[in-house]
A and B are shown apart, each in its own frame.
Chain A
Amino acid sequence: EAQVTQNPRYLITVTGKKLTVTCSQNMNHEYMSWYRQDPGLGLRQIYYSMNVEVTDKGDVPEGYKVSRKEKRNFPLILESPSPNQTSLYFCASSPIEGGRYEQYFGPGTRLTVT
């Protein structure tokens, strides 16, 4: 089954404790992206990746890191989480075909930083 998986689905942590949220897709998509969603603010892009070893900043990259060492995986790293990073996070992947972006989204990771 074609899918994007994220782990963990729920995470409660404390300020400053480094964490990683994993994202994996099995569709051989070139494009992968991370979003955060907060009430009233919609979906905001954190980082995206065009292919292996190619990443770039989205709208809200501060406080986050990403890496793309393999095509299928795109982990999101919070080196020193803070309470304002409490949010619902979505990973997505998409084929790239001209200007087309048909993104497939993961189920989401709900992060709480206390």
Chain B
Amino acid sequence: LAKTTQPISMDSYEGQEVNITCSHNNIATNDYITWYQQFPSQGPRFIIQGYKTKVTNEVASLFIPADRKSSTLSLPRVSLSDTAVYYCLVGLGAGSYQLTFGKGTKLSVIP
């Protein structure tokens, strides 16, 4: 089963770049890696998704090494509004559509 492991929490100052790494040693060949952001008492919101190498959109970048056993979400120049919990999610693949979120990383942005 492709479970994920992330740091429980991280602190960062405003304006800095933040990198959150997720470990997924048992990722299946056809699984994508997806990151979500969640604010208190709200549903998670999709941030970015990738399969390999690097993906960039208007809010984040996702770096995936060749072995795909980990991934790194990069948030450029964070602001106070980026304070949230970030989840890494991978599918279980092999024809199973059960999805398991990890416990997430609580990012606190300090002024």
Interface residues of A (CB under 8 A from B): 4, 31, 33, 35, 40-45, 48, 50, 56-59, 88, 90, 92, 96, 98-108, 110
Contacts and interface: CB of A to CB of B under 8 A. Distances in A.
Contact of A31 (B28, B43, B97, B100): B97
A101 B99 CA distance: 9
A56 B98 contact: yes
Nearest to A44: B101
Interface string B44-56: 1110010100000
Given A88-B41, A107-B42, A101 B89 contact: yes
A4 B93 CA distance: 25
**From B30, B93, B98, residue with most partner A Cβ within 10 Å:** B98
A102 B49 contact: yes
8 contacts: A4-B43, A42-B101, A42-B104, A43-B87, A44-B101, A48-B97, A99-B30, A104-B46
A42 B30 contact: no
Contact of B100 (A45, A103, A104, A110): A45
B41 A48 contact: no
Nearest to A110: B41
Contacts of A88: 41
Interface of B: 28, 30-32, 34, 36, 41-46, 49, 51, 87, 89, 91, 93, 97-104
Given A42-B87, A92-B43, A100 B103 contact: no
A99 B32 contact: yes
A43 B97 contact: no
B71 to A, nearest CB: 14
A105 B45 contact: yes
A59 B100 contact: yes
A50 B46 contact: no
Nearest to B101: A43
Contacts of A92: 43-44
Nearest 4 Cβ contacts at the A-B interface: A105-B43, A42-B103, A43-B101, A99-B30
